[in-house]
Amino acid sequence: MARPRQFDEQEAVAQATDLFWRRGYNATSVRDLGAELHLTPSSLYRTFEDKHTLFLRALDHYRATESAQARERLATAGRPVRDGLRDWLLWLVGCTAGAEPGPGCLVVNTATELGTTDTEVSARTEAAFEVTRRALRSLLDEGRRNGELRAELDLDAAVEMLFTTVLGLRVRERAGHDPRRLATAIDFAVRALGPAPAEPA
């Protein structure tokens, strides 16, 4: 039997993304997906082949939306680099005013759940991580070039420190840790970039 005309495959992927995000890959069954997407198991398999294929599409959807949004927010747009970095980190883990505790990051959640056991999933998580690393490096390089950060700052080491901080923050967000403690860690990470270069006398 043909799918109902009102079926929107992209919307179904978005709904599946939200479900995987909330529950994780292993805890989400085909029955759960069918209930969320209002599809019978046969319709779900006919459209998406299997749960794994749908999960890969969900990861791609997440990377195209949430990860892109995070990258855009990291662009300082004329603000001081340290302020832009701090605001971005606070936004990532819901430490901004009025924000509700979030489910963490689907990419980080997936990496911690599945590790490197699934090569297709691992390739997607690593690609998303590399986008974050590049964005951080671009921001720090900008700060070094415009004199906000020390010229001798080790960009590679700073990027890895901040990237590790991001992953830890997102795991702690998922665990429901106090946002004030996360904000304290963020402030320390920003200070670890060192003082601003002294103005010439």
What's the CATH number where 174 sits?
Answer: 1.10.357.10
Query: For residue 44, what is the domain's CATH number?
Result: 1.10.10.60
The whole-angstrom separation of Cα 97 and Cα 90 is 10
Classify residue 92: in a domain, yes or no: yes
112 and 188 part of one domain: yes
Residue 3: pLDDT over 70:
no
Classify residue 198: in a domain, yes or no: no
Mapped onto helix, strand or coil, the DSSP state of residue 80 is: coil
115 and 185 part of one domain: yes
Average pLDDT of span 107-115: 93
pLDDT at position 68: 72
- DSSP secondary structure code for residue 65 in this structure: I
| Cβ atoms < 10 Å from Cβ of 121 | 21
> Which domain, by its residues, includes 136?
76-193
pLDDT at position 124: 95
Classify residue 201: in a domain, yes or no: no
Structurally, the chain folds into a number of domains equal to 2
The whole-angstrom separation of Cα 195 and Cα 42 is 60
The whole-angstrom separation of Cα 178 and Cα 173 is 8
pLDDT at position 72: 77
Lowest mean pLDDT among 29-33, 73-77, 132-136: 73-77
Classify residue 169: in a domain, yes or no: yes
The whole-angstrom separation of Cα 143 and Cα 24 is 37
181 and 139 part of one domain: yes
* pTM of the predicted structure, to 2 decimals: 0.85
pLDDT at position 17: 95
Residue 5: pLDDT over 70:
no
pLDDT at position 100: 59
Average pLDDT of span 161-169: 95
Classify residue 2: in a domain, yes or no: no
Classify residue 176: in a domain, yes or no: yes
30 and 80 part of one domain: no
Average pLDDT of span 175-200: 87
50 and 81 part of one domain: no
Share of the chain above pLDDT 90, in %: 63
120 and 83 part of one domain: yes
| Cβ atoms < 10 Å from Cβ of 153 | 15
